[in-house]
Amino acid sequence: MPSTKFVIFLLFFGLLVVPASTSLGHTVDPENVTWELPPLQWTKDLESGYVSTAPVVIGEMLFVKVGGRSDSPGGPWDDGKGPGIYAFNIYTGEQIWRYEHNQSRSGFEISPPIHIWQKDLLINGWTSGNITAHNASSGELLWMYETERVSWGITGKPMPIIGEPNVQDSIHFSTETGVLGLSPNGTLLFQHTFPDNATGYRNGVGLVILSENFSFYSGTSGILLATGDESGGFHTWEIDGDNFSSWDLNVVLNGSKLKMRTPPFIMFPSHQNDTFGAGIIVQGSEGGELVNLQLDNESSLIVKKRVSLGIAPSIPVILPDGVVV
Protein backbone atom coordinates (compact mmCIF):
# COMPACT_ATOMS: atom_id res chain seq x y z
CA MET A 1 0.00 0.00 0.00
CA PRO A 2 1.27 3.52 -0.69
CA SER A 3 2.36 5.65 2.24
CA THR A 4 -0.01 8.36 3.38
CA LYS A 5 2.04 11.37 2.39
CA PHE A 6 1.15 14.90 1.46
CA VAL A 7 1.22 14.39 -2.29
CA ILE A 8 1.48 17.72 -4.08
CA PHE A 9 0.22 17.72 -7.65
CA LEU A 10 0.90 20.58 -10.01
CA LEU A 11 -2.60 21.95 -10.41
CA PHE A 12 -3.45 25.12 -12.22
CA PHE A 13 -5.89 27.74 -11.02
CA GLY A 14 -7.89 27.44 -14.23
CA LEU A 15 -11.31 27.28 -12.61
CA LEU A 16 -13.53 24.88 -14.50
CA VAL A 17 -17.19 25.35 -13.70
CA VAL A 18 -18.51 22.42 -15.69
CA PRO A 19 -22.16 22.14 -16.74
CA ALA A 20 -23.88 18.78 -16.63
CA SER A 21 -23.54 18.27 -20.40
CA THR A 22 -19.78 18.82 -20.38
CA SER A 23 -17.01 16.43 -19.38
CA LEU A 24 -13.39 17.58 -19.23
CA GLY A 25 -13.98 20.22 -21.86
CA HIS A 26 -15.82 17.98 -24.35
CA THR A 27 -19.45 18.86 -25.04
CA VAL A 28 -21.78 15.87 -24.91
CA ASP A 29 -25.34 15.55 -26.16
CA PRO A 30 -26.94 13.19 -23.60
CA GLU A 31 -29.72 12.20 -26.03
CA ASN A 32 -27.20 10.77 -28.50
CA VAL A 33 -25.03 8.85 -26.06
CA THR A 34 -25.31 5.12 -25.45
CA TRP A 35 -24.15 4.20 -21.97
CA GLU A 36 -22.66 0.71 -21.80
CA LEU A 37 -22.45 -0.51 -18.22
CA PRO A 38 -20.90 -3.79 -17.09
CA PRO A 39 -23.29 -6.61 -16.12
CA LEU A 40 -24.88 -6.27 -12.68
CA GLN A 41 -23.10 -8.61 -10.27
CA TRP A 42 -25.45 -8.35 -7.30
CA THR A 43 -27.92 -6.00 -5.66
CA LYS A 44 -29.48 -5.63 -2.22
CA ASP A 45 -32.35 -3.68 -0.72
CA LEU A 46 -31.07 -2.89 2.74
CA GLU A 47 -34.37 -1.35 3.91
CA SER A 48 -32.32 0.66 6.40
CA GLY A 49 -33.08 4.24 5.43
CA TYR A 50 -31.03 6.65 3.37
CA VAL A 51 -27.60 5.84 1.94
CA SER A 52 -26.22 9.39 1.91
CA THR A 53 -22.47 8.75 1.56
CA ALA A 54 -20.45 6.96 -1.10
CA PRO A 55 -19.67 3.30 -0.32
CA VAL A 56 -16.07 2.60 0.65
CA VAL A 57 -14.19 -0.21 -1.11
CA ILE A 58 -11.18 -1.73 0.67
CA GLY A 59 -9.72 -4.80 -0.98
CA GLU A 60 -12.51 -7.35 -1.21
CA MET A 61 -14.79 -5.50 1.22
CA LEU A 62 -17.51 -2.93 0.58
CA PHE A 63 -18.76 -0.68 3.41
CA VAL A 64 -22.17 1.02 3.22
CA LYS A 65 -23.39 3.58 5.76
CA VAL A 66 -27.15 3.87 6.36
CA GLY A 67 -29.36 6.38 8.15
CA GLY A 68 -31.86 4.00 9.75
CA ARG A 69 -35.52 3.13 9.22
CA SER A 70 -38.49 3.46 11.55
CA ASP A 71 -42.14 2.80 10.71
CA SER A 72 -43.08 4.89 13.74
CA PRO A 73 -42.03 8.55 13.31
CA GLY A 74 -40.10 9.52 16.41
CA GLY A 75 -40.24 5.95 17.62
CA PRO A 76 -37.63 3.20 17.85
CA TRP A 77 -35.76 1.95 14.82
CA ASP A 78 -37.17 -1.10 13.08
CA ASP A 79 -35.55 -4.28 14.34
CA GLY A 80 -32.13 -4.67 12.68
CA LYS A 81 -32.68 -1.56 10.52
CA GLY A 82 -31.11 1.16 12.65
CA PRO A 83 -28.40 3.61 11.51
CA GLY A 84 -25.03 2.01 11.03
CA ILE A 85 -22.66 0.18 8.73
CA TYR A 86 -22.97 -2.87 6.50
CA ALA A 87 -19.83 -4.70 5.34
CA PHE A 88 -20.14 -6.93 2.27
CA ASN A 89 -17.91 -9.08 0.14
CA ILE A 90 -17.53 -6.95 -2.97
CA TYR A 91 -17.67 -9.92 -5.35
CA THR A 92 -20.52 -11.97 -3.88
CA GLY A 93 -22.55 -9.49 -1.84
CA GLU A 94 -22.28 -11.73 1.22
CA GLN A 95 -22.75 -9.74 4.44
CA ILE A 96 -19.58 -9.97 6.53
CA TRP A 97 -20.58 -7.81 9.47
CA ARG A 98 -23.15 -5.24 10.58
CA TYR A 99 -22.98 -2.46 13.16
CA GLU A 100 -26.01 -0.52 14.40
CA HIS A 101 -25.52 2.93 15.89
CA ASN A 102 -28.91 3.36 17.54
CA GLN A 103 -27.77 6.48 19.41
CA SER A 104 -28.45 8.48 16.23
CA ARG A 105 -32.00 9.76 15.79
CA SER A 106 -31.78 12.03 12.73
CA GLY A 107 -32.68 9.46 10.06
CA PHE A 108 -29.67 10.36 7.90
CA GLU A 109 -25.89 10.03 8.19
CA ILE A 110 -23.77 12.23 5.91
CA SER A 111 -20.30 12.10 7.48
CA PRO A 112 -18.35 9.89 5.04
CA PRO A 113 -16.57 6.85 6.49
CA ILE A 114 -12.78 6.80 6.16
CA HIS A 115 -10.43 3.83 6.25
CA ILE A 116 -6.98 4.04 7.83
CA TRP A 117 -5.20 1.16 6.16
CA GLN A 118 -2.11 1.29 8.39
CA LYS A 119 -4.32 0.38 11.37
CA ASP A 120 -7.18 -1.34 9.47
CA LEU A 121 -9.56 1.16 11.11
CA LEU A 122 -12.93 2.22 9.78
CA ILE A 123 -13.64 5.66 11.29
CA ASN A 124 -17.12 7.20 11.40
CA GLY A 125 -18.68 10.39 12.71
CA TRP A 126 -22.41 10.23 13.53
CA THR A 127 -25.29 12.63 13.95
CA SER A 128 -25.42 11.45 17.57
CA GLY A 129 -22.17 13.39 18.01
CA ASN A 130 -20.24 10.17 18.57
CA ILE A 131 -17.11 9.05 16.75
CA THR A 132 -16.52 5.31 16.33
CA ALA A 133 -13.58 3.16 15.25
CA HIS A 134 -14.06 -0.41 14.03
CA ASN A 135 -11.66 -3.08 12.97
CA ALA A 136 -12.53 -2.99 9.27
CA SER A 137 -11.98 -6.71 8.76
CA SER A 138 -13.92 -8.08 11.71
CA GLY A 139 -16.32 -5.23 12.55
CA GLU A 140 -15.20 -5.15 16.19
CA LEU A 141 -16.00 -1.81 17.83
CA LEU A 142 -12.65 -0.68 19.20
CA TRP A 143 -13.59 2.65 20.73
CA MET A 144 -16.21 5.41 20.79
CA TYR A 145 -15.68 9.10 21.57
CA GLU A 146 -18.57 11.43 22.41
CA THR A 147 -18.71 15.08 21.24
CA GLU A 148 -21.25 17.81 21.90
CA ARG A 149 -24.41 17.53 19.81
CA VAL A 150 -26.59 20.63 19.40
CA SER A 151 -28.74 19.67 16.40
CA TRP A 152 -26.97 17.47 13.85
CA GLY A 153 -23.84 16.12 15.49
CA ILE A 154 -20.99 15.27 13.12
CA THR A 155 -21.86 15.70 9.44
CA GLY A 156 -18.49 16.40 7.73
CA LYS A 157 -15.58 14.29 6.58
CA PRO A 158 -12.62 13.77 8.97
CA MET A 159 -8.98 14.01 7.93
CA PRO A 160 -6.39 11.43 9.10
CA ILE A 161 -2.71 12.29 9.31
CA ILE A 162 -0.95 8.93 9.65
CA GLY A 163 2.65 7.86 9.11
CA GLU A 164 4.19 11.30 8.62
CA PRO A 165 7.79 11.67 9.87
CA ASN A 166 8.14 13.71 13.07
CA VAL A 167 4.35 14.10 13.34
CA GLN A 168 2.11 12.27 15.80
CA ASP A 169 -0.56 10.12 14.14
CA SER A 170 -3.88 11.92 14.44
CA ILE A 171 -7.45 12.02 13.10
CA HIS A 172 -8.89 15.52 12.76
CA PHE A 173 -12.64 16.10 13.11
CA SER A 174 -14.83 19.12 12.68
CA THR A 175 -17.68 18.59 15.12
CA GLU A 176 -20.86 20.60 15.41
CA THR A 177 -19.29 23.06 17.86
CA GLY A 178 -15.55 22.98 17.09
CA VAL A 179 -12.61 20.83 16.06
CA LEU A 180 -10.67 18.09 17.78
CA GLY A 181 -7.88 15.62 17.17
CA LEU A 182 -7.88 11.99 18.27
CA SER A 183 -5.12 9.41 18.22
CA PRO A 184 -5.82 6.15 16.36
CA ASN A 185 -6.66 4.56 19.72
CA GLY A 186 -9.28 7.22 20.53
CA THR A 187 -7.27 9.40 22.91
CA LEU A 188 -8.05 13.13 22.79
CA LEU A 189 -5.01 15.08 21.55
CA PHE A 190 -6.49 18.59 21.30
CA GLN A 191 -9.83 20.40 21.13
CA HIS A 192 -10.96 23.89 20.10
CA THR A 193 -14.39 25.54 20.15
CA PHE A 194 -15.76 27.73 17.38
CA PRO A 195 -16.03 31.38 18.53
CA ASP A 196 -19.35 33.13 19.14
CA ASN A 197 -21.25 29.86 19.69
CA ALA A 198 -21.06 29.07 15.97
CA THR A 199 -22.07 25.61 14.80
CA GLY A 200 -21.05 23.59 11.74
CA TYR A 201 -23.00 21.48 9.26
CA ARG A 202 -21.42 19.30 6.52
CA ASN A 203 -18.21 21.06 7.56
CA GLY A 204 -15.51 18.58 6.64
CA VAL A 205 -11.80 19.04 7.32
CA GLY A 206 -9.34 19.82 4.53
CA LEU A 207 -5.71 20.78 3.99
CA VAL A 208 -4.76 24.35 3.05
CA ILE A 209 -1.65 26.47 2.50
CA LEU A 210 -2.02 30.13 3.45
CA SER A 211 1.57 31.36 3.61
CA GLU A 212 3.01 32.90 0.45
CA ASN A 213 6.41 31.66 1.60
CA PHE A 214 5.48 27.96 1.51
CA SER A 215 8.15 25.70 -0.01
CA PHE A 216 8.13 22.05 -1.03
CA TYR A 217 11.29 21.70 1.04
CA SER A 218 9.42 22.68 4.22
CA GLY A 219 7.93 19.20 4.67
CA THR A 220 4.63 19.53 6.51
CA SER A 221 5.56 22.99 7.84
CA GLY A 222 3.10 25.53 6.47
CA ILE A 223 0.38 22.97 5.76
CA LEU A 224 -2.69 23.62 7.89
CA LEU A 225 -5.93 21.84 8.65
CA ALA A 226 -9.05 23.91 8.03
CA THR A 227 -12.85 23.89 8.19
CA GLY A 228 -15.79 26.29 8.23
CA ASP A 229 -19.10 26.85 9.99
CA GLU A 230 -22.67 28.04 9.50
CA SER A 231 -21.86 31.62 10.52
CA GLY A 232 -19.19 32.24 7.90
CA GLY A 233 -16.32 31.30 10.16
CA PHE A 234 -13.12 29.96 8.58
CA HIS A 235 -10.85 28.11 10.99
CA THR A 236 -7.31 26.74 10.70
CA TRP A 237 -4.93 24.89 12.98
CA GLU A 238 -1.57 23.16 12.75
CA ILE A 239 -1.17 19.40 12.45
CA ASP A 240 -0.35 19.09 16.17
CA GLY A 241 -3.49 21.10 17.03
CA ASP A 242 -1.66 24.32 17.95
CA ASN A 243 -2.35 27.86 16.73
CA PHE A 244 -6.09 27.58 16.19
CA SER A 245 -7.14 30.71 14.25
CA SER A 246 -10.51 32.00 13.06
CA TRP A 247 -11.67 34.61 10.54
CA ASP A 248 -15.13 35.95 9.71
CA LEU A 249 -15.69 35.46 5.97
CA ASN A 250 -18.59 37.92 6.07
CA VAL A 251 -15.95 40.56 6.77
CA VAL A 252 -13.26 39.18 4.46
CA LEU A 253 -15.66 38.82 1.51
CA ASN A 254 -17.96 41.72 2.38
CA GLY A 255 -20.93 39.36 2.51
CA SER A 256 -23.70 38.43 4.89
CA LYS A 257 -25.02 35.17 6.30
CA LEU A 258 -22.31 33.15 4.55
CA LYS A 259 -21.87 29.45 5.26
CA MET A 260 -19.07 26.96 4.62
CA ARG A 261 -20.37 23.45 3.98
CA THR A 262 -17.53 21.78 2.07
CA PRO A 263 -13.94 20.98 3.10
CA PRO A 264 -11.33 23.62 2.19
CA PHE A 265 -8.54 22.53 -0.14
CA ILE A 266 -5.11 23.57 -1.43
CA MET A 267 -5.05 25.98 -4.38
CA PHE A 268 -1.90 25.40 -6.40
CA PRO A 269 0.10 28.03 -8.31
CA SER A 270 -1.14 28.69 -11.85
CA HIS A 271 2.22 29.99 -13.10
CA GLN A 272 5.85 30.26 -12.03
CA ASN A 273 5.43 33.48 -10.07
CA ASP A 274 2.15 32.49 -8.42
CA THR A 275 1.81 31.26 -4.84
CA PHE A 276 -0.22 28.64 -3.01
CA GLY A 277 -3.55 29.48 -1.44
CA ALA A 278 -6.59 28.11 0.37
CA GLY A 279 -9.59 27.18 -1.75
CA ILE A 280 -13.02 27.45 -0.15
CA ILE A 281 -16.65 27.24 -1.25
CA VAL A 282 -18.98 29.71 0.47
CA GLN A 283 -22.77 29.78 0.25
CA GLY A 284 -24.98 32.82 0.62
CA SER A 285 -28.58 33.79 -0.07
CA GLU A 286 -27.65 34.93 -3.60
CA GLY A 287 -25.56 31.87 -4.50
CA GLY A 288 -22.14 30.41 -3.91
CA GLU A 289 -18.56 31.42 -4.62
CA LEU A 290 -15.27 29.65 -5.15
CA VAL A 291 -12.61 31.74 -3.40
CA ASN A 292 -8.81 31.55 -3.28
CA LEU A 293 -7.44 32.98 -0.01
CA GLN A 294 -3.98 33.83 1.28
CA LEU A 295 -2.52 35.36 4.41
CA ASP A 296 -1.24 38.94 4.24
CA ASN A 297 1.58 39.54 6.71
CA GLU A 298 0.75 36.17 8.28
CA SER A 299 -2.39 37.50 10.00
CA SER A 300 -5.04 38.99 7.68
CA LEU A 301 -6.80 37.03 4.95
CA ILE A 302 -6.75 38.49 1.45
CA VAL A 303 -8.69 37.34 -1.61
CA LYS A 304 -6.54 36.23 -4.54
CA LYS A 305 -9.48 35.34 -6.77
CA ARG A 306 -13.19 34.61 -6.53
CA VAL A 307 -15.66 33.05 -8.97
CA SER A 308 -19.47 33.07 -8.69
CA LEU A 309 -21.26 29.70 -8.59
CA GLY A 310 -24.85 28.55 -8.41
CA ILE A 311 -26.91 28.11 -5.28
CA ALA A 312 -25.84 25.26 -2.97
CA PRO A 313 -22.70 24.14 -4.86
CA SER A 314 -21.46 20.60 -4.32
CA ILE A 315 -18.13 19.41 -2.94
CA PRO A 316 -15.43 20.43 -5.45
CA VAL A 317 -13.38 17.90 -7.38
CA ILE A 318 -9.67 18.66 -7.81
CA LEU A 319 -8.34 17.72 -11.27
CA PRO A 320 -4.90 18.18 -12.87
CA ASP A 321 -6.18 21.16 -14.86
CA GLY A 322 -8.23 22.90 -12.18
CA VAL A 323 -11.24 22.66 -9.91
CA VAL A 324 -14.67 21.34 -10.91
CA VAL A 325 -17.72 22.42 -8.94
**Residue 4 domain-assigned?**
no
**Residue 29 domain-assigned?**
no
**Residue 19 domain-assigned?**
no
Domain that holds residue 156: 46-324
Q: Which residues pair with 122 in a beta bridge?
A: 115, 134
**Residue 269 domain-assigned?**
yes
Count the domains in the chain.
1
The closest alpha carbon to 281, from 303, 300, 308, belongs to 308
User: Residue 52: which CATH number?
Assistant: 2.130.10.10
pTM value is 0.86
**Residue 54 domain-assigned?**
yes
Alpha carbon distances (Å) from 248 to 22, 30, 244: 35, 42, 14
Residues 6+ apart with CB under 8 A from 132: 99, 101, 123, 124, 126, 141, 143, 144
Assess contact for 181 and 197: CB atoms under 8 A: no
**Residue 5 domain-assigned?**
no
The closest alpha carbon to 130, from 99, 97, 176, belongs to 176
**Residue 137 domain-assigned?**
yes
Per-residue pLDDT of the chain (325 residues; tens, 9 = 90+): 333 333 333 232 333 333 333 333 445 566 677 778 888 899 999 999 999 999 999 999 999 999 999 988 777 899 999 999 999 999 999 999 999 999 998 899 999 999 999 999 999 999 999 999 999 999 999 999 999 999 999 999 999 999 988 899 999 999 999 999 999 999 999 999 999 999 999 999 999 998 877 766 555 568 999 999 999 999 999 999 999 999 999 999 998 899 999 999 998 887 888 888 899 999 998 889 999 999 887 678 999 999 998 887 778 888 767 788 8
**Residue 303 domain-assigned?**
yes
